[in-house]
Amino acid sequence: MTAPAKISCRHLWKIFGPDPQGFLKRHGEAPKDEDFARENYIGAVRDVSFDVYPGEILIIMGLSGSGKSTLIRAITRLNDPTQGQILLDGNDLLKATPAELIDLRRHKMGMVFQHFGLLPHRSVLSNVAFPLEVRGAAREERETRAREMIKLVGLEGREDYFPRELSGGQQQRVGIARSLAVEPDIWFLDEPFSALDPLIRREMQDEFLRLQKLLRKTIVFITHDFDEAIRLGDRIGIMKDGRLVQLATPEDMVSAPADDYVREFTRNAPRDRILTVGAVASREHVPVNGVNVLASAKIGDAAALVLSSDKAIAVIDADGKPVGAIDRKRMIAALYPDGAR
């Protein structure tokens, strides 16, 4: 990506204990696992660096206790990091005053969490308008904006409902509408759909992708579900024990895992929906038999054609130029990397 990063994190640490900064200094700002264990400190986020680019959906995932939620809370300064740098549009968030942070959260950041956090005594309209009320917007202005967001998330006609009268999916839509009411530049979502039933969760993922297509927000999205990550994310970061183990596109992560932990994490990934033909094609020989498949096609879409042919098939780019070949053996190896036949 060539555009300047919207968010840049550099050497971010979040350590819990009596003197986190002193602990870091004692160990040359590079404490080891045994140092944490011996001195009873918890390294929730350990030396994490990454960038998020404008319009990107960056997924941060990991198992429970991996540090993913602590990371997003550190980035937003809901919990101040122990050490490091967080740049938002080039400005250091760790140097922001409390008043500046409040202004950023009211105008530039939208947040959605697993628990909807709706105010039970307020209507849908009032819940969505609430952050604008806090900002000091006039009633007519905030209600007009709230109605626009309610329509955007598909809840038009339910403005006067109360949260108890809505399904879980509808309540989450209200939470999403409320977070968008302030027109944020950056959207932070911490496992927003994990409390929902599978069918509703899928519906909310569809809704999320529809909204992103319209709004093109810069998004940091936390999940523990790899299927959700590959469906929604442009890139995925996997965390373990507070460290960012790998940050890559879903295709790169599945085809070239950084270590055994990532390999195990992605073992059951739907490779047919992630890998492209171009990623698994051979560059050694390009057949000229009139049959071809696009390099950008997912291998699942090309599988029937390739597996039914006893000859290699040409792989072409978007301009029709041959870039390689794919045959039955390579297709099977891509679909079943553990040696299944």
pLDDT band at 322 (very low <50, low <70, confident <90, very high): confident
Q: Is residue 324 part of a domain?
A: yes
Q: What is the mean pLDDT of residues 171-175?
A: 90
Mean pLDDT of the chain: 91
Q: Is there a contact between 292 and 314 (Cβ–Cβ < 8 Å)?
A: yes
The tens digit of pLDDT for each residue in 192-230 reads 888 788 888 898 899 899 989 998 999 999 998 888 999
| CATH number where 210 lies | 3.40.50.300
Report the C-alpha gap between 269 and 336 in whole angstroms.
11
- Within a domain: 58: yes
Structural domain contains residue 88: yes
pLDDT, position 106: 83
Same domain, 295 and 202: no
Please compute the mean of the pLDDT values over residues 126-143 and round it to a whole number.
Answer: 92
Indicate which CATH number applies to the domain containing 321. Answer: 3.10.580.10
Q: Which position has the token pair 């350590």? A: 15
Q: Within 13 A of 46's CA, how many CA atoms are on the CB side?
A: 20
**Pair (264, 310) in one structural domain:** no
Residue 139 covered by a domain: no
Asked if residues 285 and 317 have their Cβ atoms less than 8 Å apart, the reply is no
Contact indicator for 306, 334 with CB cutoff of 8 Å: no
In angstroms, the CA 213 to CA 228 distance is: 17
Give yes or no: residues 197 and 94 share one domain: yes
Determine the length of the chain: 341
Strands 235-240 and 109-113: unpaired
Residue where a domain stops, chosen among 268, 303, 320: 268
In a domain, 136, yes or no: no
Alpha helix locations (H) across the chain? Answer: 20-26, 33-39, 68-75, 98-107, 124-135, 139-152, 168-180, 198-215, 226-232, 250-255, 260-265, 271-274, 277-280, 299-307, 328-335
331 & 296 share domain = yes
Say yes or no: 197 and 330 in one domain: no
Report how far residue 289's alpha carbon sits from residue 311's, in angstroms, rounded to the nearest whole number.
9
Taking the model in full, what pTM does it have?
0.87
Q: Can you give the residue range of the structural domain that contains 264?
A: 7-108+184-268
Q: Which of 233, 252, 268 is the last residue of a domain?
A: 268
The torsion of the CA quartet 284, 267, 233, 68, rounded to 10 degrees, works out to -140
- Cβ atoms < 10 Å from Cβ of 96: 16
pLDDT band at 341 (very low <50, low <70, confident <90, very high): very low
Look at residue 193 and tell me if it is in a domain. Answer: yes
Residue 81 has a pLDDT of: 95
On the 0-12 / 13-18 / 19+ scale of CB atoms within 10 A, 331 is: buried
My answer on whether 249 and 291 are in the same domain is: no
Residue that terminates a domain, selected from 220, 247, 268: 268
DSSP string computed for 4-27: PPSEEEEEEEEEESS-HHHHHHHT
Residues 221 and 315 in one domain: no
Find the helix or strand (DSSP H, E) in which 92 lies.
strand 91-92
Tens-digit pLDDT profile for residues 86-122: 999 999 999 999 999 988 888 889 888 877 789 999 9
Give the integer Cα–Cα distance in Å for 182 and 305.
49
Distance CA 161, CA 183 (A): 23
Provide φ and ψ at 138, rounded to 5°.
-65, 155
Q: Are residues 190 and 244 in the same domain?
A: yes
Please check whether residues 229 and 318 belong to one and the same domain.
no
Structurally, the chain folds into a number of domains equal to 2
Residues 196 and 327 in one domain: no
Judge whether residue 1 has pLDDT over 70: no
Confidence of residue 339 (pLDDT cuts 50, 70, 90): low
Mean pLDDT of the 246-265 span: 93
**Is the distance from CB of 66 to CB of 222 less than 8 angstroms?**
no
226 and 318 in a single domain? The answer is: no
Count CA within 13 A, CB hemisphere, residue 83: 16
233 and 191 in a common domain? yes
| Residue 261 included in any domain | yes
Q: Check if the beta carbon of residue 248 is closer than 8 Å to that of residue 235.
A: yes
pLDDT number for residue 290: 76
306, two tokens: 């390739």
pLDDT class for 31, splitting at 50, 70, 90? very high
In a domain, 116, yes or no: no
